[in-house]
Amino acid sequence: MLIQSNIKNDRNISGMTKLTPSSKSTWYLIGIAFGALLWNCLYIQYFKSVIDSFDRESAIIFMGLFIAVNIVLFIAFCYYLVFYHIRRPMLKISNRNPRPGEIVAVTWELPDYHSITRFRLTMEGLESMGNIENMEDTEYASRKNQEIRSVFLSIILADTMEKHDIKSGAAEFKIPGDAMHSFDDGRFQIVWQLKLYAAKKWKDRRIKYTINVQPYAV
C-alpha cells in the first residue's frame, strides 16, 4: 500500500520530540578510535624493537607509513564525526508512540542541504523473521526473500529536489486503523520505521528511525 502525504506549509509545529537514529553510527567512531590506538601501540613497540637494525632510508619509509596510516584514520574519524553527528539531519515527531488511526506530524532540518540533490522520507511497516537493524537496505531484502522479510506499508512523506523543502519541512501521516502494531516475539517482528534518504554527490545518506506503534485502543 502506498499513501502520498502532502508537505505541510506550517513549519512551526509545537510539542515535537527529537528522534534518535536506530543505526549505531557512534560505534564507527569508537571502532576507528580503538583501531588507531591499537595501531599506534603495536607500531611504536615494533619500531622500538627494530630501530637499531634500520638504515636511514628504511627508517624514513617506516615512519612515513606510520604517519600515512594515522592521517587516513584521522580523516575517517573526522568524516564520520561530521557526516553522522555534526551535520546529521534533525527529525522531530509529534508522537513517538502513536496508535493506528492517529495523525502524526514529522519535521526535518538538514544542515548540509546545499550538497543534497534529492530528499525522500518514508514511513514503513515491515514484517520480518529476523533482526532488520543489521540490514542496510530492507527494500532489497524484501525483494530477495519475500518469505523472510516484506514491506507491507510504505507512506511517502516527502520526495523532493527543491532546496527549500530539503533544508527544512514538515509532513503528517496516519497509520491505518487496521494496521498491526509494533511486535517482537524473538523470531517474528513487526517493525515501524522512518527512512530518510538524501542523494549526495559523493556518498548518499541513509538513516533509519524506529517508531514504536502501540496497540489500537479498544
Q: Quick check: is 109 in a domain?
A: yes
Average pLDDT over residues 194-205: 87
Q: What percent of the chain has pLDDT over 70?
A: 78
Q: Which one is predicted more confidently, 3 or 49?
A: 49
Say how far apart CA 28 and CA 205 lie, in whole Å. Answer: 15
Which residues, at least 6 apart from 43, have a Cβ–Cβ distance to it below 8 Å? 66, 69
Q: Are residues 121 and 189 in the same domain?
A: yes
Q: Which one is predicted more confidently, 62 or 94?
A: 94
Cβ-based neighbour number of residue 135 at 10 Å: 16
Would the pLDDT of 190 be above 50?
Answer: yes
CA dihedral over 34, 37, 38, 39, signed as positive or negative = positive
The b/e string for 154-168 (b: 16+ C-beta within 10 A; e otherwise) is ebebbeeeeeebbbe
Q: What is the pLDDT of residues 51-79, one digit of tens each?
A: 777 777 777 787 888 888 888 888 888 77
Range of the domain at 58: 26-86
**CATH code at 114?**
2.60.40.1930
Query: How much is the pTM?
Result: 0.65
Q: Quick check: is 188 in a domain?
A: yes
Q: Are residues 41 and 98 in the same domain?
A: no
* Strand pairing report for 2-4 and 149-160: parallel
Would the pLDDT of 208 be above 70?
Answer: yes
Would the pLDDT of 145 be above 60?
Answer: no
Overall domain count for the chain = 2
Q: How many CA within 13 A on the CB side of residue 117?
A: 6
Q: Are residues 16 and 59 in the same domain?
A: no
Note whether 69 and 35 are within 8 A (CB). Answer: no
Would the pLDDT of 33 be above 90?
Answer: no
Q: Are residues 148 and 108 in the same domain?
A: yes
Q: What is the pLDDT of residues 1-26, one digit of tens each?
A: 444 444 444 444 556 888 888 766 66
Average pLDDT over residues 194-216: 88
Average pLDDT over residues 91-113: 90
Q: Are residues 183 and 130 in the same domain?
A: yes
Q: Are residues 65 and 99 in the same domain?
A: no
Q: Are residues 36 and 50 in the same domain?
A: yes
